[in-house]
Amino acid sequence: MSEAEKPNILVIKLGALGDVVQALGPMAAIRRHHANAHVVLLTSAPFADFLRASPYFDEVWVDTKPHKLNLLGLLSLRARLRGGKFARVYDLQTSDRSSLYFKIMAPRRPEWSGIAPGASHPHANPKRNAMHTVDRQRDQLAMAGIEDVPASDLSWVRADIARLKLAEPYALLIPGGSAGRPAKRWPVAKFAALANELTAHGVTPVLIGGPDEKGLGEAIRAVAPRARDLIGKTGFADIPVMAREAGAAIGNDTGPMHLVAASGCPSVVLFSAESDPKLCAPRGAEVAILRRENLQGLGVDEVLRVLFAREGRPERAGRGTKRP
């Protein structure tokens, strides 16, 4: 089959990071189901380069997300979407915005898997909003004829982390999260106390997060000076590679924890009443969830007990030694 003869397939996944990671399994399933198609991803700018390196897409387009009142922006997007001549669209975002894209592709709309009114393959499960993201997307794809959806896989991710000069053994600490929802964060003072406990057991605490979270790293190192502060210094591709080498990871309900957990690193994810792990928690055989209505009440000792429950040996948390 020539390139010109291949059907064009569009996948829509705009964000956020945790949702992107949980959509990797569905992306793999779509790629396998349409092995002879030209598969295009529409995503947001922060995730474009990361997903271009994946084995799932022939092209990655960046959505500038024009406002609904930005007529010129919408017309430009409409022209591009219609020009793609897509045979089918898998809307994994299933938001008002992505459903709008179905509307503006009239009058020659492609087959559409999603929740947009009039979609040819609607996700018609009335319980969809009560389903975990992974289960919801598997159910959506099943209704579109794709039954076998694997777990998210990050084995394709490559990065040279030698520049970080990580000391082994080490554990990843992820103290950040949505700045607009501070109740989702375990107190910085407790992350600092945890860092000191890990150091006492011969494990280097390595702090990671986004550039806007640098103040968290500074606050933790003021109390735990032997922690490595890499907040703002790592990209999406670095984190899975670091996680493969790490003995363990502890962090809030935030995007980087999804990257870590999907990489197979033993992970403890901290949840408050602000989010429901039944709907969005990272999944994996090595993932443990700790939830409290208020994370202020979660003690360092309890986190450590869960982290080292298998062996009770924190000093084993590193490459070249047995993980806890």
For the chain, 324 residues long, give each residue's pLDDT as a single digit of tens: 667 689 999 999 999 999 999 999 999 999 999 999 999 999 999 999 999 999 999 999 999 999 989 999 999 999 999 999 999 999 999 999 999 999 999 999 999 999 999 999 999 999 999 999 999 999 999 999 999 999 999 999 999 999 999 988 999 999 999 889 999 999 999 999 999 999 999 999 999 999 999 999 999 999 999 999 999 999 999 999 999 999 999 999 999 999 999 999 999 999 999 999 999 999 988 999 999 999 999 999 999 999 988 544 444 444 433 343
Cβ atoms of 24 and 262 closer than 8 Å: yes
- What are the residue ranges of CATH 3.40.50.2000 in the chain? 3-143, 163-316
What does the CA dihedral 302, 305, 307, 311 come to, rounded to 10 degrees? 180
Helix ranges (H only) for 87-170 are 96-104, 133-143
CA distances from 213 to 196, 231, 249 (A): 20, 7, 18
Amino acid at 72: L
Q: Does domain 3-143 have CATH number 3.10.20.30?
A: no
Cβ atoms of 312 and 201 closer than 8 Å: no
The residue written with tokens 């938001």 in the block is 95
| CATH number corresponding to 163-316 | 3.40.50.2000
The residue written with tokens 């210094």 in the block is 233
The residue written with tokens 């640098």 in the block is 214
Q: Backbone phi, then psi, for 74, in 5-degree steps?
A: -65, -40
Per the structure block, which two tokens stand in for 266? 């033993």
Predicted TM-score (pTM) of the model is 0.94
What is the enclosing helix (H) or strand (E) of 33? helix 24-33
Q: Longest Cα pair distance anywhere in the chain, in angstroms?
A: 66
Tell me which residue of 177, 238, 187, 161 sits closest to 212, measured CA to CA. Answer: 177
- The 10 Å CB-count burial string (b at 16+, else e) for 152-188 is bbbeebebebeebebeebbbbbbbbbbeeeeebbbeb
pLDDT, position 261: 96
pLDDT, position 257: 97
- The Cα 13–Cα 19 span in angstroms is 8
